[in-house]
Homo-oligomer: A and B are copies of this chain.
Amino acid sequence: MHDKLVPELLAGSFRALARVISLIENESHHSVGLLEELHPHTGEAYRLGITGPSGAGKSTLADRLAKLYRADGNRVGIITVDPTSPFSGGAFLGDRLRMSDLYDDQGVYIRSMATRGVSGGLAARSQEVGDAVEAAGFGVLLFETVGVGQIELDVMEAVDTTLVVLVPESGDEIQMMKAGIIEIADLFVVNKSDREGSSKLRLVLEQLLELKEDHSQWRPLVTQTCATTGEGVEELYANLINHREHLVNTGRQSEKKRQRARQQVERLVNRETITAFWTAARREIIERELDNMSPYELARLIGKET
């Protein structure tokens, strides 16, 4: 049933693409083989991560940016990563909001990715889903995720450029950000720039950024936008293009790709190693001795009998 999926996906079938993404999400054992077949068709797409607090206007901004990338002749994949709480319809809501005018554009593919059930593999999965979308012919991938701790850090491992979207009301929260987001952000947006405090937040951010140690020779830019009216979005787009060029010119782009490939090798090897290790005989030792010793002693025993 899977033998036609790859040629269909490569031919641009949305149905085949959706099926492959589901297999990746469900950690099907077929997905590794499929991804290997898709691999020669990946590695060129530009991957942009958009993160920020809930209600900052990330979706509207992503739609605006998608249209600008489209106007430049790119096919655009939008992958929203929602922490699907059992108590809210995060992923569903995201889907519904996006059933906008982009929905009818065959040059745009929109997909929600669930975080539920992911055991520490969100960075890997974001990359794999991105690979599938790229192989289907999309040259620009937008990963949109709400900032809830680890999740956005995982997703941002899979992108080339990280864009952090704030609103004037975020001012008080800047203190919290010093630790995490300042380190990973390549660009900042102060959205809803028609509200009071927008320019002040921009200044505060720029001051914070001056304190940042510079490892990449890239000075993060702060852009003020109003996504609903479109104001400032073209300036942001120009800044994004600049960052992409910077990545290419400094060799950072290829280093990021190498790093992702390296991590992928490690994951594949680790999974294989662990699977091979847990023979029936070793599992039996656990069951036989579980009541007789501490987990620490038992782990050493199993290590010794190897």
Q: Specify which of B87, B115, B121, B177 is in contact with A53 (CB 8 Å cutoff).
A: B87
Are A294 and B39 in contact (CB-based, < 8 A)? yes
B296 near A36: Cβ-Cβ < 8 Å: yes
Q: Given A84-B149, A148-B85, A290-B258, A265 and B298 touching (CB < 8 A)?
A: yes
Copies in the complex: 2
- Given contacts A150-B117, A299-B265, is CB(A294)–CB(B85) below 8 Å? no
Classify the secondary structure of A's interface with B. Answer: helix
A303 contacts B269, C-beta separation under 8 Å? yes
Is the CB–CB distance between A262 and B286 below 8 Å?
A: yes
| Contact indicator B147/A85 (Cβ below 8 Å) | yes
Given that A150-B116, A265-B298, A294-B36 are known contacts, is A86 also in contact with B272, CB under 8 Å in the complex? no
Interface members, chain A 109-160 (any B CB < 8 Å) = 115-121, 147-150, 152-153
> Assuming A117-B150, A261-B295, what are 13 further A-B pairs, CB within 8 angstroms?
A40-B294, A53-B85, A83-B148, A86-B176, A87-B147, A116-B149, A119-B120, A265-B290, A265-B298, A268-B295, A269-B302, A273-B273, A274-B274
